[in-house]
Copies of this chain bind each other. A is one copy, B any other.
């Protein structure tokens, strides 16, 4: 009896359930015979025992003369031994020849030794004189002879059942004349996509539809794991239609039926309902992220797995649950995923009780390998083009600290090299710049948003090509340059002037609290929303508040204690605007662009400078040069200044600091 789960199960329970279903349904390895031409990368399903000796006769290993070794024992240069020449034996000659004492045959490499001969004198050490041969050197028995069975002996175990067949194994099979061998049959897998909004690639895209990703990605994933995939097609979110398709598929000779999508509440748990009716469900929901809405069951004698619809979740769950079954059936060993050690570059939170697979970028610096979480979620297929691999956060871990050493399981054997690695503060200006750049030079950019300070640290480790930063120095009021010194980057990086962004106070439309400057933040009736520590905006706010504290002759700490909401941190400009828009706060510091987005009023405070830090060993990279070129271009200026508060500066694109 296979256990039926009425709650969300762990990944391990899900794997075990699949294995139990497979056994109960007697879905097992089958064997077929194939020609060795078609055997590459298949798995041997028999022990191959040689039924012949290789070579199967004693053969000459050199061109020369076949002799009875004893006849030559006293031969030397001075006193050659004279033998009677009976003829020549060529390679491939199938006649049986024979010699006796004092006689010899000329013999070619590979030719069979005549009877009684037990050695070959190399042609260099013999002279033919009519029907006589003079031998100038003795040979010992066996010399220059490849004995029958010396390579492979009849009865010898040549290849073991379970061997993965490469050209090396095919060479061995050829040697014993085997052309047909038993291998494990590839299991057949039916692939069904579901969703009213899904259309097949190749069809014309219309409003409201999305291309089916899962059919082809599962198709190739099944191939990669040694199965035979079959794309059944896209089925609408319709119980009758799904029931009809699943029933007809279940009648065919598939071993496994896969669906993707239709497992979430949104479509009324379509897959669950249909399979519950026409088959049996054992698992409905797995404690894993992504991939929770997974269904495991059976339809007739077929294993059924309902995979989640999101492409990355779908493939991840396939790898976890389905690939092992396919590999088992086709005889392949467990898939080995290449992994590398890395330190995570930022804190990562995870939900307790769920195993989480977190996609990450890998960035390698001079002496560092860092993993940065990919910000796109499991719904985005671009996660696959962005991520180099994933880390696995166990069920009992809620947080991974920055710099924790982790295993990163790579998505490809090789890291995907990016043309540009941009690590630092996020700015919409960078997105605009990259868009323009792509028009002129195809650029695969990794953009990793971790904030200004972490960006500088990445540049220091030579991990980034470009790090965007907007940090103001409290003492000098100067942007960015002082931090090059502060963090010890003076000999390591260039600082390139970027552009201006207007920072200011975001308030409700119509400014009901009549806020005019940052001093109003001290008012009893004003509640603010702050930014996170380390962000450029927070640094700016604190600088301005210190000025006020000094002017008023009070301690900075005392001052901020009186600001309502000072301790509440929002992580982005947008979040500040949202908080104000939703009435959670009356004011906050942010860039002008977000005030417009939320239809809020804006009081300009300071034009900040958003610059680019470039490690010295990256300055001559083609894509870095192009980046700077576009930064200076008219086209970029036009696009950038369409955004409220953004402005090209007099020295945009100029070198502000050179490594010394």
How many protomers of this protein does the assembly include? Answer: 2
User: Please, which residues of chain B bring their CB within 8 A of the CB of A221?
Assistant: 167
Contact across chains for B92 and A583 when beta carbons are under 8 A apart: no
Q: Which chain A residues in 209-244 approach chain B with CB under 8 Å?
A: 209-221, 223-224, 231, 236-237
Q: Is A518 part of the binding interface, using a Cβ–Cβ cutoff of 8 Å?
A: no
User: Please, which residues of chain B bring their CB within 8 A of the CB of A173?
Assistant: 201, 216
A289 to chain B, nearest CB (A): 16
Distance between Cα atoms of A267 and B108 in the complex (Å) = 8
Distance between Cα atoms of A174 and B196 in the complex (Å) = 17
Residue among A56, A93, A110 with most chain B CB within 10 A: A110
Contact across chains for B439 and A94 when beta carbons are under 8 A apart: no
Contact across chains for A175 and B311 when beta carbons are under 8 A apart: yes
User: Please, which residues of chain B bring their CB within 8 A of the CB of A581?
Assistant: 69-70, 73, 140
User: Please, which residues of chain B bring their CB within 8 A of the CB of A180?
Assistant: 202
Contact across chains for A151 and B205 when beta carbons are under 8 A apart: no
Interface string of A589-609 (1 = CB under 8 A from B): 000000001110000000000
User: Please, which residues of chain B bring their CB within 8 A of the CB of A264?
Assistant: 109
Interface SS of A by simple majority: loop
Q: Is A104 part of the binding interface, using a Cβ–Cβ cutoff of 8 Å?
A: no
Contact across chains for B197 and A177 when beta carbons are under 8 A apart: no
Q: Which chain A residues in 286-330 approach chain B with CB under 8 Å?
A: 311, 315
A340 to chain B, nearest CB (A): 16
User: Of B73, B111, B166, which is within 8 A of A582 by CB?
Assistant: B73
Q: Is A49 part of the binding interface, using a Cβ–Cβ cutoff of 8 Å?
A: yes
User: Please, which residues of chain B bring their CB within 8 A of the CB of A412?
Assistant: 164, 166, 168
Q: Is A465 part of the binding interface, using a Cβ–Cβ cutoff of 8 Å?
A: no
Chain A's interface size range is 35 or more
Q: Is A384 part of the binding interface, using a Cβ–Cβ cutoff of 8 Å?
A: yes
Known pairs A70-B581, A152-B382, A170-B216. 10 more at Cβ < 8 A? A36-B216, A40-B223, A54-B210, A92-B236, A92-B237, A109-B266, A173-B201, A173-B216, A174-B215, A175-B381
A positions within 8 Å CB-CB of B:
36-37, 39-40, 47, 49, 52, 54-57, 59, 61, 63, 69-70, 73-74, 90-96, 108-112, 138, 140-142, 146, 150-153, 155-160, 164, 166-168, 170-180, 195-198, 201-203, 205-221, 223-224, 231, 236-237, 264-267, 311, 315, 376, 379-382, 384-385, 411-412, 435, 438-439, 442-444, 574-575, 578, 581-583, 597-599
The 9 closest A-B pairs by CB, nearest first: A92-B196, A171-B217, A92-B197, A140-B578, A167-B220, A157-B442, A91-B197, A179-B202, A109-B266
